[in-house]
Structure 1
């Protein structure tokens, strides 16, 4: 799509995914993969709401708003649509729409422009944290997947998310140049966002998958912790800790000697936490 002097192109489409070649036998009986992929499809498709909020927050910055509206937002929604199609290919009896409607109703109150960062630069630093998490998550799925079509799909999404990180980082640098914040303020924003990542959206997404799929009356934080504890085994083996830490630290623009010291310490700490 062309907007002004900018041309926004997608790297891939749903037609590039070989859904007709999905090997259901190697994944259909795995409950954790079902929950993870269905919940991820909910979160990704709701990006249309995130994109509108960010567009409101950056009103007046036509270049950033165009990138959000015609590049980042549509690609995030495409990720959700691609995952949704995969889920319904492998688990066709799942009432996806009912689960998504429940998730949207639960999560909409958390998607308000007023809840975004205190400044435009710091909000972009926070967005870099989110994209670090998503690109690393789909990188993990690429390597952990027992099913080849899913591995290819996750790889496409991972590459998009890395590109989105670069886009948010570019915007961060522009605003940091206009309204500079100390490393301390940027580090505090990164830390807060890293702690908050997926606390609500992941919980509510998995909750609504469970309520629909199992027709259960309730889904608690304890249930969610049990699910996450099972996923940790994948993280220990497949999560790209080193690249994730480097991406998190990039907005701090640390001197090279300090970064060389900090990265292995943080990677070791992250592995121990997981």
Structure 2
């Protein structure tokens, strides 16, 4: 049965699955849906049109589904959607979307969100992401799967960060970071590829070597970006086992809304 501490305040219209746990003094609003086996710690506020999947653990003092920190927001019924098996630590804040974008903030599955992280309105996060303590995402930021952001990383609004990319401690990101790339500094600049992360995720030595060559083509060859992209396309044909990853890198660069870090 649902386990709710007697001091928690749960709106009668909230929908909580069996086996949901809600800790002391937490507040759950009327438009909230929470899936099976999710644990809501003490002193958590979950509000807005928020859906939370199964097997999540939200720690004490988190604020989930609050109104966007956007002066244009006028109370529209925008949403927050959180998937399954996410860990959301103390004092994390995650806001609803806005009508200036898709109207929804999304988190995928199996994400590890450490203390004091802020995820602003309309952010779109994939799965298996790690956000270290005090990482801050401005509005409309997109993070692909397996991104790792170091502690105190700050990401400018509308930036996109590609799959398997990584930032160092205190990185300040104002342009897009391509897949596989490590970024560091204020303002963030490329600092190699996330080799160790790729090895841990089962990338072969030849695939990592091909990604390193692609990185050198983009950042060390001296080629203009258009010529570098053409060189990447040629490299796809020479490295069939890594062709999909190289194509992913090239297509990210071609679609980058803010331009990539250089």
Shorter-chain TM-score above 0.5: no
**Greater C-alpha Rg:** 2
TM-score by length of 1: 0.22
Q: TM-score, normalised by structure 2?
A: 0.23
Question: Which is richer in strand?
Answer: 2
